Amino acid sequence: MTHVGVMGGGLQGCCIAMALADHGARVTLFDRNPALLTRAAVANEGKVHLGYMYGGDPSLRTAKMMMRGALSFAPLLCRWLANDAGDFETSDPAAYVVHRCSQQEPDRIHAYLNAVHRLIQDAVGTSRRGDYFNADLASPIRPWSKRELEIELSNQALAAFQSPEVAIDPVALADLIRQRIAATPTIEVRTNHLITAVDLERSRVASTSNDIQHDDGFDHIVNSLWDGRIAIDSTAGMRPRRKWIHRLKYGVSFRPPDAARPARSMTIVLGPFGEVVRYRNGTVYLTWYPSCLTDRTFDAEPPFWPIMPDEPLRSTIFGGTYSGLAAIHPVLSEYAADELSDVVVRGGPIVAWGETDIDDPNSELHNRFEIGVTSVGRYHSVDPGKLTMAPYFADECARRIIGAVSTHAVSGCRAV
Ligand SMILES: Cc1cc2nc3c(=O)[nH]c(=O)nc-3n(C[C@H](O)[C@H](O)[C@H](O)COP(=O)(O)OP(=O)(O)OC[C@H]3O[C@@H](n4cnc5c(N)ncnc54)[C@H](O)[C@@H]3O)c2cc1C
């Protein structure tokens, strides 16, 4: 049985472990934390991007990449979790709201959304509604009426376009994945293991746990360490040829009072704005760039940023995010702060190519298509770019490994 060492127990690493187990491989899954899925994987709003967000990349390459990930997201997870697409905790579909300081005019954004929507419709045809959480992909992108705009948005918004795009509650998804992995005897989980280096030639992984050093050999090694990926790749002699940026971004979630008017899911474009996500269970998630983006570095390895911020940063993030979004979506100001329950401020690292942030229209952060699996022999380094892409690249990585194994096995020259 092929034995694969998977480094990183976030969404990407866990999906790779499940995909490999599905193909009959044995997996050892490493993470530095005491449990799986505790970092970026659960710190995000879980938008499963169909590509509408990437109007800053008019080539549509980012949209096409996201679409590929989004349309395989539910089918792959349903296979690995023995689940149905309708069982996932998802959000209401999001509207794309054009801010008055947007980098692009409403007509241009509408034209971009329509172009992406046509690509999606071409990709799914009429018969595969289940591929994207049973969403209605057949209806056109709908501009909000004047009345809808007046009721839901302030004069900071110029226009809004209704899309079918949803988010998946990443915390609920993480619970399902943890259960699946715990019930899979061919996946061994080694938490509290800090990966320190990889020896490519000998196909070995060095780690430390409780001050004890470990050195384990595998048939294949996968690097899905997200913010730890570039540093460990470099111990294996792989260095990126471009500039990258690690950014620390937070989000705020809470439950509004039961009888309150519901918030609408929306993404405010195009530039450093934010999002409102309302999951079907009533939980609301907010992220607002000016308050939620708190740090960044161009170092190979960012600091081990805390997922939960301490005071006074926590209150600053919460207050700034809430008031920033309430100024656009006034329903939020109908909820008194002391009526909110289950308030959580949580964040994580975002890793991407680029030298400037998204307030720069020319930033590489608008282009997210150069991501995926890079393989050198039996070493595979996976940059998901977004949560959206994790199942898709997991499937690709597992196929590469299993394909490589069977090719080697046929030729009888598999080096172990
Ligand atoms: C606030 C926020 C909002 C976001 N919103 C979205 C969104 O709506 N849609 C979307 O598609 N994407 C979104 N993203 C991006 C998405 O969260 C990430 O692309 C994705 O989660 C990264 O993959 P991961 O889950 O495997 O990372 P992680 O969960 O960070 O997993 C990496 C794991 O590796 C472990 N690790 C790292 N270094 C080491 C080491 N040296 N040794 C051992 N273990 C190590 C960590 O402990 C961690 O568990 C968002 C990100 C943030 C922070």
Q: What is the pLDDT of residues 369-394, one digit of tens each?
A: 679 999 999 999 999 999 999 999 99
Which atom belonging to ligand 1 lies closest to the Cα atom of 42?
A: 29
Give me the pLDDT at residue 416, please.
Answer: 21
Which residues, in sequence order, are CB contacts of 340 under 8 Å at separation 6+?
254, 255, 256, 257
Q: 350: CA distance to ligand 1 center in Å? A: 7
Q: Which residue, by CA, sits nearest to atom 38 of ligand 1?
A: 228
Tokens 């976030």, residue? 10
Q: Is the CB of 10 under 6 A from ligand 1?
A: yes
- Label the pairing between strands 157-162 and 142-143: antiparallel
Give me the pLDDT at residue 366, please.
Answer: 55
Q: 217: CA distance to ligand 1 center in Å? A: 25
Q: Which residue, by CA, sits nearest to atom 17 of ligand 1?
A: 40
Q: Express as a percent the part of the chain with pLDDT over 70.
A: 92
Q: Is the CB of 347 under 6 A from ligand 1?
A: yes
* Partners of residue 352 on adjacent β-strands: 245
List, for residues 224-234, the tens digit of each pLDDT value: 999 999 999 99
Q: 40: CA distance to ligand 1 center in Å? A: 3
Give me the pLDDT at residue 158, please.
Answer: 97
Q: What is the pTM of this model?
A: 0.94
Q: 80: CA distance to ligand 1 center in Å? A: 20
Sign of the Cα pseudo-torsion (33, 39, 13, 244, in order): negative
Please say if the pLDDT value at position 130 is more than 90: no
Q: Is the CB of 203 under 6 A from ligand 1?
A: no
Give me the pLDDT at residue 272, please.
Answer: 83
Q: Which of 39, 65, 275, 365 has most ligand 1 atoms within 8 Å of its beta carbon, as the pocket-test mutant?
A: 39
Average pLDDT over residues 68-87: 93
Give me the pLDDT at residue 353, please.
Answer: 78
Average pLDDT over residues 69-93: 93
Helices 170-182 and 11-22, axial angle in degrees (round to 10): 40
Please say if the pLDDT value at position 34 is more than 90: yes
Q: Is the CB of 226 under 6 A from ligand 1?
A: yes
Q: Which of 48, 386, 389, 392 has most ligand 1 atoms within 8 Å of its beta carbon, as the pocket-test mutant?
A: 386
Q: Is the CB of 293 under 6 A from ligand 1?
A: no
List, for residues 238-255, the tens digit of each pLDDT value: 988 778 899 999 999 999
**E strands in 240-378:** 244-255, 266-269, 274-278, 284-288, 293-297, 341-353, 372-376
List, for residues 291-318, the tens digit of each pLDDT value: 999 999 988 889 999 999 999 999 999 9
Please say if the pLDDT value at position 8 is more than 90: yes
How far, in Å, CA of 190 to CA of 44, rounded? 24
Give me the pLDDT at residue 409, please.
Answer: 33
Q: 346: CA distance to ligand 1 center in Å? A: 12
Q: Which residue, by CA, sits nearest to atom 8 of ligand 1?
A: 47
Which of 168-195 are b and which e, b meaning 16 or more Cβ less than 10 Å from the residue's Cβ?
bbbbbbbebbbebbeebeebebbeebeb
Q: 39: CA distance to ligand 1 center in Å? A: 6
Which atom belonging to ligand 1 lies closest to the Cα atom of 228?
A: 38
Please say if the pLDDT value at position 412 is more than 80: no
Structure tokens at 10: 């976030």
List, for residues 180-237, the tens digit of each pLDDT value: 999 999 999 999 999 999 999 999 999 999 999 999 999 999 999 999 999 999 999 9
Q: Is the CB of 350 under 6 A from ligand 1?
A: yes
Q: Is the CB of 228 under 6 A from ligand 1?
A: yes
Q: Is the CB of 165 under 6 A from ligand 1?
A: no
Which residues, in sequence order, are CB contacts of 400 under 8 Å at separation 6+?
373, 375, 380
Distance of CA 311 to the CA centre of its chain: 26
Give me the pLDDT at residue 300, please.
Answer: 83
Q: How confident is the model at residue 85 (pLDDT cuts 50, 70, 90)?
A: confident
